[in-house]
Each structure stands twice: as C-alpha cells, then as structure tokens.
Chain A
Amino acid sequence: MSNIIDLSLSELVLNIKNKKISSKEVTSTYVERSKKSKNLNSYNEETFDTALKKASEFDSKPDFNKKLPGIPMAVKDLFCTKNIKTTASSKILNNFIPTYESTVTQNLWNDGAILLGKLNCDEFAMGSSNETSYFGNVISPIDKDLVPGGSSGGSASALAAKLTPATIGTDTGGSIRQPASFTGTVGLKPTYGSCSRYGIVAFASSLDQAGPMTQNVKDAALLLEVMSSFDNKDSTSVDFKRPLYSKDLSKDIKGKKIGIPKEYRVDGMSQEIEKLWEDGKNYLKDSGAEIIDVSLPHTKFALPTYYIVAPAEASSNLARYDGVKYGFRVEGDNLIDMYEKTRSAGFGDEVKRRIMIGTYVLSSGYYDAYYLKAQKVRRLIKNDFNNVFQKVDAILTPSTPSSAFKIGDKSNDPLSMYLNDIFTVPVNLAGLPGISIPAGLDKKGYPLGLQIIGKSFDEQNILNISYSMEEKINFKFNLNEWWMK
C-alpha cells in the first residue's frame, strides 16, 4: 500500500471501493496534513472533527456505488454550505452561516464526499493572487514568497500541498485555470450552464462557473461528472445530456483539429512560454492531431470588455450586502449612514474598486459607451470562437502570460494584475469550457500551464485532448514540504 497522499482522487476512490483503505484513514491523513500546514493560510474554516465523524459513519455503512465514496474534500469558501460559515473571504460575511447548501457541493455530498473545510480565496473571488482576502493572503506551497494565483488560491494551494485530494473552485475570468497553472495542477472551467450557480456567492452572474481542480485530468473528469447537473433553481442552468466524463475518457485524439490563435502571441511573451506552447503543439501532432493556425481577431478587446462586464454585474450583485438582513453591520445615525459605514468597513479595496467601476459603467450617460459597447464586443468575441470552431475541434493556448509572481509584486498595480487573466478571460466571455494542465517549468522552476479551449458542452473532447497531452508531457514536480513543521 503506497502512501495515501501519493494517490490521486481516482486511485483513492478505487482503493476505497476495493476496501484496501478506509474513508477514516484517508480523511485523517488529510486532516493531519492540513493541521500541519497552517502556514499556507489556505483554510478559512476547518470542519475536521465533523469530517472524521462522517468518515467513520461511511466506513460503518459504506456505499461503494457512490462516485466519491467517503472522499474528504475541502472547497472554496464561495460555495454556501449548510450550517457552516461561508464568508467569500470578506469581512462583510464574516459571521454568515447559511441555512442552505449550494447545488454543486450538495452533488458532492450526495455522491459520498465529506467536507474537510472551506478554502481561502480572493474577496468575493475578485483577484488573481489571493491577496485580497480579508483573512490574509494564501501562500503557494511552491515557495513561501509566491502567490498561488487567484481567486481560487486557497483551493490551488491546498490541492498542490495535498491538504485535500481534489477540490472545487469558481472561475469568472480565470479563477480556476490561472491558480491551477501557477501550482502545477489541473483546473477546468466548464461551459456556462453546466454547473449550477445556486448557492454560490455571486461575483459576475453571466461569467461565474464552478469547476474541478485536481491532480490530474482523470480526476477532473470524475469530479466534473459529479458536479455538473441540470438545476431548475438556476435559470441559466442548461438541460443537456451529461456524459460520464471519466468513463468515456480516451487518449485517442487522432485526426482532431487543434487551432493555434495568433492573437495569443502577445507582445513581450517570454521565450519559455513560446517554447511551452510549441512543445504542446508537438505533443498533439505526435498523437495524430492536426495543428491549424487560426485567428480570433477581437482577442485584444477581451480584457477591457471583461473589466466592464464583470464589475458592472458585481456592483449590482454585491448591493445585497448592506448590513440590513445578515452579515456584518456598523451602526449609523440613520439608514444611509449605516450603509456607508457598513460597506466602507466591510469590503476591501479591490472589491470597492470594482463596485465603483461597475457603478460608473452602468451610470446614465456612460451606459452606452461602456456597458452596452462591452456587450456588443462580447458578442464579437463569441462570434470569433464560433467561426474558428467551424474549422477546429479545440484551441490550444498558454494558460497565463507568466508563472506565479511574488507576494506583493502586483498588489499595488491593479492593471498589471488584471493582465494576468489575458488568456483566460475570453473563454468566460464566450461561455466556453477551458482547461489548464501543467505543461512545464520556467527557469525559476515554477510551473507553467497550457490551456485547451473547447466548444460549448464539449468538455469530453478537451478532457480527452488533455488526457493525451498529460501522458506525453509527463509533468513531474516535487515539493519539499518546507511549510510543514
């Protein structure tokens, strides 16, 4: 029996089903590791005792038909969890305990998973480095000075450090794929409408999507299979026949046409990234795929479009945090005074910045020039992808323009921080599925990821392509566990 933490999610499932290990053994292993890893600051809330109790319950009455039988799992603190504090890493929800469960997490528990705790993230998922959390920044297990990426930074850090066998995040502009890329893990943002948004603290409703973050592609397929469901509590949930992604997973991608968009070769792109991309193409060719140069002409407008649409929706979505009904409140002389004091003290700088941007772009006199125009450009970006997908089955790009950066490096320079999302944002604007897989290391020894973008609801295809590439890339990355004392 190999070490539990060396097993992937799929392997753990298999071993539990074969009764080689118990849920209790797995759970206590992850609990112990998590307890020793507080330096990373990846947890907002720990539910270790309950998890151990549930693991014992599972073992005493196991149901091996479940897809995640007795598997412990920590989740991003953006998913509402019944009777367990859910904060979105914001002071304004610091004391909020939902009486309800998000659909996606409910799907996990229904399939046998056990909650380990709630993972840190950027405040309301606004950030690319997990430095905007009210509970402090998360540290990458790769290096104590390094950000894990964001906004699902706690998830990426915990996954890479093996404090949870797999995890789930949310991705509005890259919040799953960018931290996955930064930490050498796999992160998948499904097609908009695949995973229910019910019970997920909303950031930008037309862009938010939950997705799996895992050690490998097979695990991502399995976790997506459990997460994704049609939900009539979310009007944007799509009722399509969901494949058994893990069962149908195949490395056979012979004859697949893969597009390489020239617009993603941005100015100042490093040699390392160029090479990574080139290697990716070669692996695909080796597997019998065909590489085709394509053009997504409106790519350069994606980032400005995103930074209009997302803040606009956020400014409205966050209006409910007003101190009246739940959460944090600072008393005031009157209603307006209470609002001002509560929201001034309750939100962090980045959240306030986006609320102000969003309020501005929706204001009378500016709406047409910003919000309406952004919606039109969004349509053009979507059309670009539609056109390209007439010719190709998937698109290959780098996940990020660089590897993980140092803590504090960009926190005072929002524009440079926003630029980090340049390759991931267009996918959200078009509502498409995208996956980031680890593809190599830069000269500092930090992981770099490649992104495969697919057609709507064609997750199986990008999973297959990733699965094939994963084998060829054979990414190895060992952490020295410096953070554990």
Chain B
Amino acid sequence: MVDEMTKDYFIERNGKKYEVIIGLEVHAQVLSESKLFSTSPTKFGSEPNTQVSLVDAAFPGMLPVINEFCIKQAIKTGIGLNAKINNKSIFDRKNYFYADLPQGYQISQYKDPIVGEGFVVLDLATGSRTIGIERLHLEQDAGKSIHDIDPKNTLVDLNRSGVALMEIVSKPDLRSPDEVNVYIKKLRSIMRYLGTCDGNMQEGSLRADVNVSVRKQGEENYGTRCEIKNVNSIKFMQMAIEHEANRQVDILEDGGKIDQETRLFDTKKNETRSMRSKEDAHDYRYFPDPDLLPLEFTNDYIEDIKKEIPELPDQKKSRFIEKFNLSPYEANILVSDLDTSIYFEAVIENSDVKLSSNWITGELFALLNEKNLEITESPISAKNLSKLINLIKDGTISGKIAKTVFEMMAKGDKNPIDIVKEKGLKQQSDPKELEKLIEKVINENQDKVKEYKSGKDKLFGFFVGLAMKVSGGKANPQLVNEILKKKLK
C-alpha cells in the first residue's frame, strides 16, 4: 500500500519503446443475500448444490424474476463510478452450451446496459490519473464444473449458478501492471464503501478479463488486442499482462502479426496460451430475454438511491485533507480501506489527529501486518488506542514508553491507563524528584562532568541517557534536559 510507484511503463526491444494498452472487464459479485433472478441464497462455501432453486437449475417452465435489491446495488455502483444510470436497460440472453450453464444461455445485458459511461480517479505516486469506464452491466454467474474429483466424470456444482455479477468494463486507459493494481484496488474500495461487493478475490467475488495490446511509442492507433480470461488475483493480472505484452512485442519485433484471440493465463508456468482464435469465437446469438420486461427507472428512483450513497473514498480524502490538515498521501492511506477510515475517525474523535494518523499507519499497520489481520479484527480497539494517544499527548507517558504499552495492549486490548498504573509507567514529571535523581547521576560521574565542562559537549547526551535509564525510562525527557542544562552550567 505504501509504495505504488508508477513510472512510465514501456517495454524496450532493440532500442524501441512499446507502450502497453490495457482494458479490464471486472466481474464483481453483487453483495446480496439472494441471486439475481431467484430467491436462492448466495452464501460462499456451502455444500455443493445446496443453494439451487428450480430456476437456477433451469427446470422446464421456470421463469426468472428480477431481484430488485441487485438492481439497486448496480445503480449504486454506477453512481460510485460517476457514471450515467440508464433509465431503460434490457436483459439479453447470451446463448451457449456448457454443462454448468443450466439454461443453455446466460442472462446478461448486451446493447443496453444498466450503467453507461463513467470514470474513476487513481492516486498514483506521480499524480492522479482518470480511467474511463465504458459501462457496467448485470449478468448471472454460471455454475462450476469440477474436473478433478471423479476420474471419469465432470461434476457440476450449481451453487453459483444465477448469482448476480456486475461486469465493469474500463476503457483502454490503463498503461501498466502497476496502474492495474491501483485501479482494481480503487474499484474494490469504492464498492466496499458502497456495500455493493465485498471484493474478496479468494472467494472469486472479484475476477477480471484482461485485454492487452501494444504499440510503438508515439503511435496513435491501438494494436490488435488479446483477451486473457478470468484472472482472479491482482498479482496474476500483473504477471499475465507482463508476459502477454512481452509476447506481443516479440512477435512484432520478429515481423509478425498479432492475432486477435482469447488466451488463458497459466499461473504455474507464468505464461498465457491461446484458448480460441477470433474465427472460433462463439456466436452467442444475443437477443432480449422475452421472460423479462425491460428495466425502466424514473429519475426520482435514481435520485432516491443517490440519497443512500455514503461518502466515497475521494470525498473522504478531500475532507481529511481539508478538515484534519493531513497530507494527500496520508489521507489516501487512511481512506482507501473503508474500515481503516472508520477506525481512524473513531480514534480522532477524542485524540490528536497527527498522532493518531502516525500511530495507525505506523505501529497499528505493522501489528496487523505481522498478525495478518484486518483492521476490523484489530486486537487494539479504536477507543483504547485513542486513550494511549492521549496519554502521550498529555505527557503521562513518553512516546517510547507508549510503544511498550502498545505491545502490552496488543495482547488483549487492555486499557492503557490501567497498564500504565499497574506497571507504574507514569512519566516522572515532578521537578523536585527529578532534580534529586539528576544530582545523584552528576555526583556519581564527576569525571565525566569535568570532561563536559572542559568542552566535550557531546557528553550531554550521556547524562540524559543515564538519567532516563536510572528512572527506568519514566523520566520526562524534556524536564531531564532542562534540569541537566541548569545543573551542568
């Protein structure tokens, strides 16, 4: 998260620079209790074929009925992508045969998607970049074919069959694997803020088809593109792009031509390979699904949904910068994950903003990282972190002691005030007490005092360190400084 350096990305061969053009079709599972056209639950990880209705299994005479919640989720997402919500859209049938596609067609949207053009802004180390969104449409997921359980047969699990997906199609505006990384994270962040997709890539809630082409630097026209199907992690997307762009450059440098085709990324061999050529492309015979009426919304309907839209990452970032005087960099780190921003705002409710920001992005992130936890699972609550920061701020403990307290808190969300009390970690700030302590240090080190007085200024640090050590780290370092300066004159 810290280092998303995006320099100009080129592939160089024989002294020539090639630009890489990338467009993504992201499939985001709509966060919804039930499927797009049936009432079956969508819970991940259930026993195979336990979340399947007659509609999902395409029994004779079964009809799809639109789940309005999914429609609202798509509209919300469209709004989050600054996109045009179409007052009328149409569900089409995409016809093809496969064992895990029970209807023999997928209900999708073809010519008239629910959401039209929009954009997202990426925050890159080099500045911000706007990536165009071509469209967002709703479609059903297929089931899952399992080839590796039974040696002779393919097994089919229809739990996913009919689950609502949003396909978010970007314009070919992305230029590097790093930008793809930032783009996916930004989409995920927006959808998590909206509560429209959990963005969980391990569970397949977010997958992408990646379109890659290359062109010589300075050229205007796009090269022929290849589509890499169904890549399910950011790392694999980046690897696939890297490999595919290099493969295309190699072909062009050898005087060859790129064939438009669909390719698969082999994660084990780190290479893409041809799945089907343009000639073999399916003819999906799209046509409007006669079982479903066109989706039509009034502007009022859309406006009502707009009212439900929470503050989104970009807005929150601006607010953090303006209201809390955070740097854009800090603000970006704090807003990119909704839960982090909620945690941050809970901490600063009663505590210093700057200290809070530093402690969250420093100590807390390091702790979460080490324990591989989400911020929602943090062993230290926002309330207790706020108390710790206040103890630092009001001088009860030093920053150094605070780190010790923090470590103790991490073992079970203890109240830092109690820890400080129990362990006697309160800072020694009584000048009389400190004076006594310092006098003792000076008396016991008369030789060093002499050296210091004869001009060895560096020894001042030695006395500070010693005083702190004697106090068990509890002495107020500022007071120690002041008193020492006085006594050593």
Q: Measured between C-beta atoms, what is the minimum distance from B48 to chain A in Å?
A: 14
Residues of chain B in range 138-166 having any CB-CB distance to chain A below 8 Å: 154, 156
Find the A residue at minimum CB distance from B283. A364
Known interface pairs A205-B290, A364-B285, A367-B287. Does A199 touch B61 (Cβ–Cβ under 8 Å)?
Answer: yes
- Tell me, yes or no, whether A88 is within 8 Å of chain B by CB: yes
Residue pairs across A and B with CB atoms within 8 Å: the count is 93
- Tell me, yes or no, whether A456 is within 8 Å of chain B by CB: no
Contact partner of A201 (CB less than 8 A), chosen from B54, B60, B283, B286, is B60
Find the A residue at minimum CB distance from B64. A235
How many angstroms between the C-alpha atoms of A80 and B64 in the bound complex?
17
- Tell me, yes or no, whether B59 is within 8 Å of chain A by CB: yes
Find the B residue at minimum CB distance from A208. B290
Residues of chain A in range 184-235 having any CB-CB distance to chain B below 8 Å: 197-202, 204-206, 232-235
Contacts of A232 in B (CB 8 A): 65
User: B91-134, CB under 8 A of A: which get 1 and which 0?
Assistant: 00101011100111100000000000000000000000000000
Q: Measured between C-beta atoms, what is the minimum distance from B146 to chain A in Å?
A: 14
Contacts of A200 in B (CB 8 A): 61
Contacts of A326 in B (CB 8 A): 59
How many angstroms between the C-alpha atoms of A88 and B59 in the bound complex?
13
- Tell me, yes or no, whether B251 is within 8 Å of chain A by CB: no
Known interface pairs A198-B63, A201-B61, A234-B63. Does A371 touch B287 (Cβ–Cβ under 8 Å)?
Answer: yes
Contacts of B292 in A (CB 8 A): 235-236
Contacts of A93 in B (CB 8 A): 60
Contact partner of A319 (CB less than 8 A), chosen from B59, B61, B105, is B105
- Tell me, yes or no, whether B346 is within 8 Å of chain A by CB: no
Question: Are A319 and B95 in contact, with the CB atoms below 8 A?
Answer: yes
How many angstroms between the C-alpha atoms of A335 and B100 in the bound complex?
11
- Tell me, yes or no, whether A261 is within 8 Å of chain B by CB: no
- Tell me, yes or no, whether B321 is within 8 Å of chain A by CB: no
Chain B: interface secondary structure? loop
Question: Are B285 and A363 in contact, with the CB atoms below 8 A?
Answer: yes
Question: Are B290 and A204 in contact, with the CB atoms below 8 A?
Answer: yes
- Tell me, yes or no, whether A133 is within 8 Å of chain B by CB: no
Question: Are B287 and A312 in contact, with the CB atoms below 8 A?
Answer: yes
The winner among B63, B98, B99 for most chain A CB atoms within 10 A is: B63
How many angstroms between the C-alpha atoms of A197 and B62 in the bound complex?
9
Question: Are B104 and A319 in contact, with the CB atoms below 8 A?
Answer: yes
Find the B residue at minimum CB distance from A339. B97
Contacts of B291 in A (CB 8 A): 202, 205, 235-236
> Of A22-30, A67-75, A97-105, which binds chain B?
A97-105
User: A246-290, CB under 8 A of B: which get 1 and which 0?
Assistant: 000000000000000000000000000000000000000000000
Contact partner of B99 (CB less than 8 A), chosen from A198, A320, A335, is A335
Find the A residue at minimum CB distance from B282. A364
Contacts of A315 in B (CB 8 A): 95, 285
Contacts of A363 in B (CB 8 A): 283, 285
Contacts of A324 in B (CB 8 A): 99, 102, 156
Contacts of A335 in B (CB 8 A): 98-99, 154
- Tell me, yes or no, whether B66 is within 8 Å of chain A by CB: yes
How many angstroms between the C-alpha atoms of A387 and B292 in the bound complex?
27
Contact partner of A99 (CB less than 8 A), chosen from B54, B97, B98, B104, is B54
Contacts of B63 in A (CB 8 A): 197-198, 233-235
How many angstroms between the C-alpha atoms of A437 and B406 in the bound complex?
89
How many angstroms between the C-alpha atoms of A449 and B59 in the bound complex?
36
Contacts of B66 in A (CB 8 A): 235
The winner among B102, B287, B293 for most chain A CB atoms within 10 A is: B287
Contacts of B105 in A (CB 8 A): 316, 319
Question: Are B58 and A98 in contact, with the CB atoms below 8 A?
Answer: no
Q: Measured between C-beta atoms, what is the minimum distance from A342 to chain B in Å?
A: 11
Find the A residue at minimum CB distance from B58. A320
- Tell me, yes or no, whether B57 is within 8 Å of chain A by CB: yes
Residues of chain A in range 381-396 having any CB-CB distance to chain B below 8 Å: none
User: A325-349, CB under 8 A of B: which get 1 and which 0?
Assistant: 1100000000100010000000000
Contact partner of B60 (CB less than 8 A), chosen from A80, A206, A339, A367, is A80
- Tell me, yes or no, whether A108 is within 8 Å of chain B by CB: no
Contact partner of B95 (CB less than 8 A), chosen from A98, A197, A316, A322, is A316
Find the A residue at minimum CB distance from B284. A364
Shortest 3 CB-CB contacts between residues of A and residues of B? A319-B104, A362-B285, A206-B290
Residue numbers of A with Cβ under 8 A of B are 80, 86, 88, 93, 96, 98-100, 102, 197-202, 204-206, 232-236, 312-313, 315-316, 318-320, 322, 324-326, 335, 339, 359, 362-364, 367, 371
